[in-house]
Structure 1
Amino acid sequence: MNIEELREFCLQKKGITEEFPFNETTLVFKVMGKMFLLVALDKWETGQQAINVKCDPEKAIQLREEFPDDIYVGPYMNKKHWNTVKVNTVLSDKKIQHFINHSYELVVAKLTKKQKEELKNIN
């Protein structure tokens, strides 16, 4: 999965924005203003393709144990709720998309009732 495929996959979801709130190299995807995926573009360009995604805390630990070389606690991220996932390794694009969907769904589940209604009404 290249960066454009990743962007297209994320941007096809409802309520998505992409921005650079931290610096010019950290691309952040948000749903209704809440982060669900981060990409360090400077590392991506040097062959260290990885994304940061939210994850259910128990599942996060399980995935880190199952794929210790490809899923781990990322720097500057809350290790309980976020995983760094290497892209273009043993993990298939379908698996990466599953992790992105899981992150999106976790964030949507925590939105306020008003935000969920707004999201539902987006075409």
Structure 2
Amino acid sequence: MDFEKAKALCRTFPGCTEDIKWGADAVFSVGTRMFAVTGSAVPATGMSFKVEDERFLELTDRPGIIPAPYLARAKWVCVERADALDDGEAAALVRRSYELVFAKLTRKLQRELGDTE
């Protein structure tokens, strides 16, 4: 997983905003809800994002992927090693994180931000 490519992908999603929180974390949000977090340093050295409940245990069983600190209860994972996921799978998981968070927004806000399709 190329973390810089993942950050670039996040920036392409409709309604995505990026800001720095907690002093050193680049946070990607849609509406007011986070869907991905990574270090603000370049190159990034890891990334956390939301996953489907069914995928959480499967992913955290892999080397280099752990439950995300503070967010594991909401089914977030933290990819600590670039070799834990290939770029294609990483892109699909980051997109799915965005979709899961987008789906929780109000219908009005979803319309304002644009469709995910």
Please say whether Structure 1 and Structure 2 have the same fold, judged by a TM-score greater than 0.5. Answer: yes
Shift of 1:80: 4.1
Q: For residues 81 and 74 of structure 1, what CA distance do their matches in structure 2 show?
A: 8
4+ residue runs over 6 A deviation: none
Structure 2 unaligned spans of 5+: none
Matched, 1:53 2:49: yes
Structure 1 unaligned spans of 5+: none
Contact 2:50 2:76 in 1 (8 A): yes
Contact 1:51 1:87 in 2 (8 A): no
Using CA pairs under 8 Å that are at least 6 residues apart, name the structure with larger relative contact order, 1 or 2.
2
Q: For residues 107 and 37 of structure 1, what CA distance do their matches in structure 2 show?
A: 10
Among all aligned residue pairs of Structure 1 and Structure 2, give the percentage whose two residues are the same amino acid.
Answer: 27
TM-score (structure 2 length as normaliser): 0.84
Residue in structure 2 matched with residue 102 of structure 1 by the alignment: 96
Q: For residues 30 and 45 of structure 2, what CA distance do their matches in structure 1 show?
A: 22
Q: In the TM superposition, what are the counterparts of 1:1-123 in structure 2 within 5 Å?
A: 1-3=2-4, 5-23=5-23, 25-41=24-40, 49-65=45-61, 67=62, 69-120=63-114
TM-score (structure 1 length as normaliser): 0.80
* Partner SS for 1:20: strand
Q: For residues 8 and 84 of structure 2, what CA distance do their matches in structure 1 show?
A: 22
* Partner SS for 1:14: coil
Contact 2:6 2:94 in 1 (8 A): no
Contact 1:60 1:80 in 2 (8 A): no
Shift of 1:49: 1.9
